[in-house]
């Protein structure tokens, strides 16, 4: 079972601060490149992209041999969708739009075999090296990592309840959707003082109960401040951000 041990979950439990980068372009080649940059993890988004389980499978293959870990965001908190990712070997899940303890419990249940959960059994899959890991079922549940995304004020109000659900390894604040819920997308978005204050409060509350928390930021100074504030997971920039920002800059430079 050593080959299926989960270093990402181990690092979270050890209290490490992990720096990551997001990928949205559904490319194994880009994931291969990013995984050698030196980040602790590559965050693979399938909610706001065209990626599916087949795409993610190829992206995970591209990371073999890298020291970087991974975090996969499924498109929804859906048992059938999550099962497909589980069967290709995904162990680290960032579950979107968790609004309540019941939502969190549903996400955890989808990743666990009965009687603890509702995960369907596939005798030979990428997760168990196509049946070669003989003790896979004995340890699989313990190696799964579930992170609950908190993206609205309703969810923020219930942060402690969500975080306390057994099997939730961390919480994660989604600044963009939170800004939308505040009605501030066109007034500074995630940079608006009200949104920043809500995020700071969420970080403080998560730390009080000893639960790791993640917050992404495309701003380098903000990202460093999040690390200093005690965030366990900080994602900085993305493949899209890098291409847009540097592509625009180079085009302007050449035409100036």
Q: Is the dihedral of CA 30, 31, 34, 36 positive or negative?
A: negative
- The catalytic residues are 48
Residue 77: CA count within 13 A, CB half-sphere: 21
Contacts of 148 (CB under 8 A, 6+ apart): 95, 98, 103, 104, 107, 162, 163, 165, 168, 170, 171, 172
- The H-or-E segment that residue 70 falls in is strand 69-73
Residue 230 and residue 20: Cα distance in Å, rounded? 15
Phi-psi region of 15 (alpha: psi -120 to 50; beta: other; left: phi over 0): left
Per DSSP, what are the bridge partners of residue 43?
22, 71
CA-only gyration radius of the chain, Å: 18
């Amino acid at each position: 079972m050593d080959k299926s041990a989960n270093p990402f979950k181990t690092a979270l439990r050890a209290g490490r601060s992990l720096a990551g980068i997001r990928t949205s372009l559904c490319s194994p080649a880009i994931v291969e490149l990013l995984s050698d940059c030196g980040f602790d993890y590559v965050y693979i988004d399938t909610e706001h992209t065209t990626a599916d389980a087949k795409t993610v499978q190829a992206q995970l293959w591209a990371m073999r041999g890298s020291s970087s870990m991974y975090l996969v965001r499924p498109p929804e908190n859906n048992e059938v969708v999550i099962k497909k990712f589980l069967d290709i070997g995904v162990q680290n899940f960032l579950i979107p739009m968790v609004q309540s303890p019941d939502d969190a419990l549903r996400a955890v249940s989808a990743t666990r075999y009965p009687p603890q959960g509702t995960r369907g059994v596939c005798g030979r899959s990428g997760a168990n090296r196509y049946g070669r890991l003989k003790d896979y079922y004995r340890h699989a549940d313990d190696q799964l990592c579930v992170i609950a995304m908190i993206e609205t004020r309703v969810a923020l109000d219930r942060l402690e309840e969500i975080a306390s659900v057994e099997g939730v390894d961390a919480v994660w604040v989604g600044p963009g959707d939170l800004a939308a819920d505040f009605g501030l997308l066109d007034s500074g978005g995630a940079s608006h003082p009200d949104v920043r204050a809500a995020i700071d409060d969420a970080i403080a509350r998560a730390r009080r109960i000893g639960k790791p928390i993640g917050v992404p930021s495309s701003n380098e100074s903000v990202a460093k401040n999040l690390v200093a504030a005690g965030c366990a997971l900080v994602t900085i920039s993305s493949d899209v951000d890098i291409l847009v920002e540097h592509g625009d800059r180079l085009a302007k430079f050449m035409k100036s």
